[in-house]
Chain A
Amino acid sequence: HAALSRRYVLCEVVSEDPRCRQCIEDRALGLAVRDAIARVHGDYGLACCSISFTGAGETGGPGGAGSLRVRSPVRVCPAVKYLNAYTGTVLLRCRKDSYRLLCSALPFVRYLESRAQRYPCFLNTLHVGGTIRTCQKFLIQYNRTQLLRLLQNCKNEEERQCIQKSLLSCSLTEEQSQSGDEEEDDGTE
């Protein structure tokens, strides 16, 4: 019995409108990606990829009469594994057999919609990995290079000082729960 292989696609939401940041949430994004897959690959593509997308697809109707229905807090979109609204980073999950359908449909996401507001944007695919851990490693590396680039692109000395100060001040604190920012663990650079 073979294990169920997954592929994790790491992408970044790029938008010219700064208000787009607030509608980067897992439901809006999940719907947008599903919509794009349905348009590009039709019913077949939607069915291939949405086994993971809506895990609550088989709720089995209204259940038996008189049976207790235990409603655990079901996430609307289990395929969006990680979201960072500040950097616009999104981690999507799909089956290994259908990750090509997902990846080829991502350029067709042109806007994000939430609360009846539509913001144009596009998704940049950064990395496709087999596990969340490899994607996390890549993301840490990528964020480091992005910070360096931001530092180089500073227009004036003030911004430069600001960034350097915030870089030097962040540190990795061991908490009981999961520690906050996984990406900024190079606080002493």
Chain B
Amino acid sequence: RRRGGRAARARGPAGRGMAAAAFERRVLRRAAEHHYLRVRLELPDGGVRPNAAQFKQLVVTALRELHGEVGAALPVDVLTYEEKTLSAILRVISSGLVKLWSALTLLGFYQNRRCAFRVLQTSPFLLALSGNSRELVLD
């Protein structure tokens, strides 16, 4: 397992008679601590919408069903939640991204009503979630 980042270095070209140019390229793989997901909950059968606490409970329930107590203990945070559109931004530790995403995918019911989670964007940087090129409308 690679912890932190692995740095790859490249040295600049050294011309004849000149000192080697000093540049260095560093590549960090999987260095981000958290991953951010923008999700939307779809309730096709309508009904009462969950508030923020109930939404978090739903996410934790989904994790518990698929991954048990270990999954339910995963540090997941709901950073923002809009009740009107049922969309939220979740933050999860990077090692738990696969567990969270698979649990959200396989969740089928909320209070005996059909439901589905749509993952709109995901990124290791929160700033990247501010713009979504898929929603661009080209005239």
Residues of A in contact with B (beta carbons under 8 Å apart) = 37-45, 104
Q: Smallest Cβ distance from B4 to chain A, in angstroms?
A: 23
B67: chain A residues at CB < 8 Å are 41-42, 44-45
B69 interface contact, C-beta 8 A: yes
Check if B66 sits within 8 Å of A44, measured CB to CB: yes
Check if A40 sits within 8 Å of B65, measured CB to CB: no
Q: Interface code B57-74, partner A: CB below 8 Å = 1, 0 otherwise?
A: 000000111111111000
Indicate which residue in B63, B66, B68, B102 contacts A39 across the interface (CB closer than 8 Å).
B68
A39: chain B residues at CB < 8 Å are 68-69
A104: chain B residues at CB < 8 Å are 70
Interface of B, secondary structure class, is: helix
Within 8 A of A (CB), among B92-116: 102
A41: chain B residues at CB < 8 Å are 67-68, 70-71
| Among A37, A42, A43, A45, residue most surrounded by chain B Cβ atoms (within 10 Å) | A42
Check if B66 sits within 8 Å of A40, measured CB to CB: no
| Among B65, B66, B70, B71, residue most surrounded by chain A Cβ atoms (within 10 Å) | B70
Within 8 A of A (CB), among B44-92: 63-71
B102: chain A residues at CB < 8 Å are 44
A42 vs B63: C-alpha distance in the bound complex, in angstroms? 8
A175 vs B69: C-alpha distance in the bound complex, in angstroms? 49
A-B contact pairs, 11 of them (CB 8 A): A39-B68, A39-B69, A41-B70, A42-B63, A42-B65, A42-B68, A43-B65, A44-B66, A44-B68, A44-B102, A45-B68
**Least CB separation from B68: chain A residue:** A42
Q: Smallest Cβ distance from A6 to chain B, in angstroms?
A: 23
A40 vs B102: C-alpha distance in the bound complex, in angstroms? 17
A180 vs B116: C-alpha distance in the bound complex, in angstroms? 58
**Least CB separation from A37: chain B residue:** B68
Q: Smallest Cβ distance from B26 to chain A, in angstroms?
A: 33
Q: Smallest Cβ distance from B71 to chain A, in angstroms?
A: 6
